[in-house]
Amino acid sequence: MAARGHVQDPNDRRLRPIYDYLDNGNNKMAIQQADKLLKKHKDLHCAKVLKAIGLQRTGRQEDAFSLAQEVAVLEPTDDNSLQALTILYREMHRPELVTKLYESAVKKVPSSEEYHSHLFMAYARVGEYKKMQQAGMALYKIVPKNPYYFWSVMSLLMQAISAQDEKLAQTMFLPLAERMVEKMVKEEKIEAEAEVQLYFMILERLGKCVEALEVLRGPLGDKLTSELQCRENKCMLLYRRLERWPECNALSHKLLLKNPDDWQFYLLYFDSLFQLMDQSWTPPSEGEHCPEGEVQTSVAQAVCFVEDCVRGEDNKEQRPLRGPYLSRLELIRRLRERGLPEASQLGDPLELMVQFFVKFGDKPCCITDLKIFLDLLQPDEHVQFANRLMEGVPLGSGEEGGVGAGLPGDTRALQRHLCVTQLSRALGLHHALDTDSKLQLIVQLKAHYQHGLQFGKSCLKTELQYSDMYCLMAAHVYIDLWMETGDEAMLWQSVCVLEEGLTHSSSNAQFKLLLLLLFCRMGAFEPVVDLYTSLDAKHVQHDTIGYLLTRYAEALGQFAAASQSCNFSLRFFHSNQKDTSEYIIQAYKYGAFEKIPEFIAFRTRLNHSLHFAQVRTERMLLDLFLEADISSSLEDSVKAMALSPEDDDIPWDCMRDNRDLTVMTSWDPPDRHLTEAHRKQSVEEEIIWLKVRSLTLRLIGCLALLSPAPPPQNSGKTNENGVASKPATLHKLLPQLETALQEAADFTKTHTKTYPLFGPPPTRLSVALQTGCCSCQLSALWLVPPLLEMDSTGLDESSEAQVKMSKSFKALLQQLQDILSKCKGDLVVMRDEQCNTHPSHLEALVLFVETVCVVVWVVAFCAGVLRPLKVSAQKKKKKKKESSISTPVVVCSFLELVGGVQTVMSQALEHLKEQEIRITALKLGSLSLDDSEEDGSIMKTVFGKVQSSYLRSMSELSELLRKRMDMLKALKI
Predicted confidence (pLDDT) at residue 7 exceeds the cutoff of 50: no
Predicted confidence (pLDDT) at residue 384 exceeds the cutoff of 90: yes
For residues 789-805, average pLDDT? 66
The dihedral formed by the CA atoms of 201, 203, 204 and 208, expressed in degrees to the nearest 10: -170
The DSSP-derived string for 722-766 is -B-S--HHHHHHHHHHHHHHHHHHHHHHH--PPPPTTSPPP-SHH
Query: Which is higher by pLDDT, 74 or 870?
Result: 74
**CA distance linking residue 417 with residue 413, whole number of Å:** 6
The answer as to whether 257 is a domain residue is: no
pLDDT for 885: 55
Residues forming a β-bridge with 408:
395
- Asked if 404 contacts 417 with a C-beta cutoff of 8 angstroms, the reply is yes
CATH code of the domain in which 920 resides = 1.20.190
Q: Determine the 3-state secondary structure of 308 from DSSP.
A: helix
Predicted confidence (pLDDT) at residue 804 exceeds the cutoff of 50: yes
**Mean pLDDT (the chain, rounded):** 87
pLDDT for 877: 60
Q: Distances from the Cα of 52 to the Cαs of 27, 63, 65, 103, in angstroms?
A: 10, 7, 7, 22
pLDDT in tens, 952-965: 999 999 999 999 99
Query: Which is higher by pLDDT, 971 or 391?
Result: 391
Q: What are phi and psi of 972, to 5 degrees?
A: -135, 145
- Asked if 572 contacts 539 with a C-beta cutoff of 8 angstroms, the reply is yes
For 195-224, what is the HEC assignment? HHHHHHHHHHHCCCHHHHHHHHHCHHHHHC
Q: Distances from the Cα of 833 to the Cαs of 194, 207, 517, 645, 805, in angstroms?
A: 70, 71, 25, 52, 52
**CA distance linking residue 341 with residue 334, whole number of Å:** 11
The answer as to whether 104 is a domain residue is: no
For residues 673-697, average pLDDT? 94
Which amino acid is present at 271? D
High-pLDDT (> 70) share of the chain, %: 91
The answer as to whether 186 is a domain residue is: no
Which amino acid is present at 40? K
The answer as to whether 50 is a domain residue is: no
**CA distance linking residue 263 with residue 108, whole number of Å:** 58
Sign, CA torsion 36/37/39/40: positive
Residues forming a β-bridge with 723:
708
Predicted confidence (pLDDT) at residue 404 exceeds the cutoff of 80: no
pLDDT for 403: 40
- What is the pLDDT confidence band of residue 831, given thresholds at 50, 70 and 90? confident
pLDDT for 863: 86
The DSSP-derived string for 530-594 is HHHHHHT--TTHHHHTTHHHHHHHTTTT-HHHHHHHHHHHHHHHHHHHHHHHHHHHHHHHHT-TT
Which amino acid is present at 231? R
pLDDT for 879: 58
Sign, CA torsion 266/272/276/278: positive
Burial class (CB in 10 A: 0-12, 13-18, 19+), 240: middle
The answer as to whether 798 is a domain residue is: yes
pLDDT in tens, 184-217: 999 989 989 999 999 999 999 999 999 999 999 8
The answer as to whether 520 is a domain residue is: no
For residues 480-504, average pLDDT? 94
pLDDT in tens, 857-897: 999 888 888 877 776 666 666 555 555 556 777 888 888 99
The answer as to whether 235 is a domain residue is: no
Q: Distances from the Cα of 394 to the Cαs of 383, 398, 408, 416, in angstroms?
A: 19, 12, 7, 8
The answer as to whether 166 is a domain residue is: no
**CA distance linking residue 831 with residue 29, whole number of Å:** 64
DSSP state at residue 709: -
The dihedral formed by the CA atoms of 622, 625, 630 and 633, expressed in degrees to the nearest 10: 0
- Asked if 922 contacts 945 with a C-beta cutoff of 8 angstroms, the reply is no
Q: Which of 402-406, 542-546, 668-672 has the lowest mean pLDDT?
A: 402-406
Q: Determine the 3-state secondary structure of 708 from DSSP.
A: strand
**CA distance linking residue 127 with residue 106, whole number of Å:** 19
Residues forming a β-bridge with 290:
293
Residues in Cβ contact with 88 at an 8 Å cutoff, skipping those fewer than 6 apart = 49, 52, 53, 56, 64, 68
Q: Determine the 3-state secondary structure of 355 from DSSP.
A: helix
pLDDT for 719: 44
Residue 207 zone, left/alpha/beta (φ > 0; ψ -120 to 50; rest): left
Chain-centre distance for alpha carbon 792: 52
Q: Which has the closest alpha carbon to 180: 219, 115, 136?
A: 136
**CA distance linking residue 278 with residue 275, whole number of Å:** 5
Q: What are phi and psi of 926, to 5 degrees?
A: -85, 65
Q: Which residues of 517-546 are buried (b: 16+ CB within 10 A; e: fewer)?
A: bbbbbbbbbbbbbebbeebebeebebbbbb
Predicted confidence (pLDDT) at residue 492 exceeds the cutoff of 90: yes
Query: Which is higher by pLDDT, 801 or 284?
Result: 284
DSSP state at residue 712: P
pLDDT in tens, 32-72: 888 888 888 887 888 889 899 998 998 888 889 999 898 89
pLDDT for 811: 93
pLDDT in tens, 350-381: 999 999 999 999 999 999 999 999 999 999 99
pLDDT in tens, 118-164: 999 999 988 899 999 999 999 999 999 999 999 999 999 999 998 88
- Name the domain count of the chain: 1
Residue 792 zone, left/alpha/beta (φ > 0; ψ -120 to 50; rest): alpha
Q: Determine the 3-state secondary structure of 931 from DSSP.
A: coil
Predicted confidence (pLDDT) at residue 261 exceeds the cutoff of 70: yes
Angle between helices 27-40 and 12-23 (to 10 degrees): 160
- Asked if 799 contacts 806 with a C-beta cutoff of 8 angstroms, the reply is no
The dihedral formed by the CA atoms of 295, 297, 298 and 302, expressed in degrees to the nearest 10: 50
pLDDT for 681: 94
Burial class (CB in 10 A: 0-12, 13-18, 19+), 929: middle
pLDDT for 569: 87
- What is the pLDDT confidence band of residue 850, given thresholds at 50, 70 and 90? very high
Q: Which domain holds residue 855?
A: 776-879+890-972
For residues 826-841, average pLDDT? 84
Predicted confidence (pLDDT) at residue 678 exceeds the cutoff of 70: yes
This prediction's pTM: 0.89
pLDDT for 514: 97
The DSSP-derived string for 666-698 is ----GGGSPPHHHHHHHHHHHHHHHHHHHHHHH
Q: Distances from the Cα of 145 to the Cαs of 111, 137, 142, 194, 585, in angstroms?
A: 15, 10, 9, 14, 18
pLDDT in tens, 733-786: 999 999 999 999 999 999 887 889 889 999 999 999 999 999 999 999 999 888
